[in-house]
Structure 1
Amino acid sequence: MHVLDIANPAANRGQRWRNAGLLSAATLAAAYLFVRVQSARTEHAHPPAGSFVDVDGLRLHYIEQGDGPALVLLHGNLVTADDFRCSGLIERLAQHYRVIAIDRPGFGYSDRPRDVSWTPDAQATLLHQALRRLGAGAYLLLAHSWGTLVALAMALQEPERVQGMLLLSGYYYPGPRLDVPVAAMPAIPLLGDLMRHTISPLLGRLMWPLTAKGMFSPGAVPDSFRREPPWMQLRPSQIRATASEAALMIPGAAVLEGRYGGLRVPVTLMAGEDDRVIDPHGHSERLQQTLPDSELVLLPGLGHMLPHLAQEEIVAAINQVAERAGLSVPARLDGAAPHPGEAM
Structure 2
Amino acid sequence: MIYVQPLPPPTVSPQVGKIIQTGREQIHMLESGGANGNPVVLLHGCGSIAEEVMMPFSGSGLHIIAPDRPGYGFSQALPAGERGPRGQSFWLERFLEALELDKVVVAAHSIGCAAALHLAARRPDLLKGLFLISPCCRPVPFKPFIVLRSAVAPFVGPVIRQHVIARWSSYFLERGLRASSYPNPVTAELSTLPAIHMVNAASIATMAEELWAFNGDMQPPEGLPADLPVSVLFGREDRIIDPGWHLDWLHERHPALTVELLDDVGHMPHHVAPDLALTMLCDLAGKTPADIAGKTSDETGEASQPVIAVA
* TM-score (norm: length of structure 2): 0.84
Alignment of 1:25-36 (within 5 A): none
1:89 aligns with 2:57: yes
CA distance in 2, matches of 1:202, 1:263: 48
Q: Please point out which of 23, 26, 31 is paired with 1:64.
A: 31
What per-residue deviation string (whole Å, max 9, x for no partner) do you get for residues 288-317 of structure 1? 354123111101111101221121111111
CA distance in 2, matches of 1:279, 1:65: 32
- 1:240 partner amino acid: A
What per-residue deviation string (whole Å, max 9, x for no partner) do you get for residues 163-202 of structure 1? 1001000112112142445434434455433432222334
SS at structure 1 position matched to 2:197 = helix
Provide the residue aligned with 2:272 in structure 1. 309
Provide the residue aligned with 1:293 in structure 2. 256
The answer to which structure has the higher helix fraction is: 1
CA distance in 2, matches of 1:333, 1:295: 24
In structure 1, the gaps of 5 or more residues are: 1-37
Q: Please point out which of 79, 82, 104 is paired with 1:139.
A: 104
Higher mean C-alpha displacement, 278-287 vs 99-108: 278-287
Provide the residue aligned with 2:301 in structure 1. 339
1:77 aligns with 2:46: yes
In structure 2, the gaps of 5 or more residues are: 1-7, 304-311
Number of equivalent positions: 291
8 Å Cα contact 2:183-2:265 kept in structure 1: yes
Alignment of 1:166-315 (within 5 A): 166-180=131-145, 182-188=147-153, 191-202=156-167, 205-255=170-220, 258-261=221-224, 264-315=227-278
Inter-CA distance 193–292: structure 2 relative to 1 (3 Å threshold): same
Higher mean C-alpha displacement, 328-337 vs 210-219: 328-337
CA distance in 2, matches of 1:172, 1:205: 29
Inter-CA distance 290–128: structure 2 relative to 1 (3 Å threshold): closer
SS at structure 2 position matched to 1:192 = helix
Question: Quick one: percent identity of the two aligned structures?
Answer: 23
SS at structure 2 position matched to 1:89 = coil
Higher mean C-alpha displacement, 264-273 vs 180-189: 180-189
8 Å Cα contact 1:183-1:246 kept in structure 2: no
8 Å Cα contact 2:102-2:127 kept in structure 1: no
CA distance in 2, matches of 1:331, 1:69: 15
Provide the residue aligned with 2:66 in structure 1. 101
Provide the residue aligned with 1:26 in structure 2. none
Provide the residue aligned with 2:120 in structure 1. 155
Larger radius of gyration: 1
CA distance in 1, matches of 2:226, 2:26: 30
What per-residue deviation string (whole Å, max 9, x for no partner) do you get for residues 120-159 of structure 1? 1211111211222212122101000010001101111210
SS at structure 1 position matched to 2:291 = coil
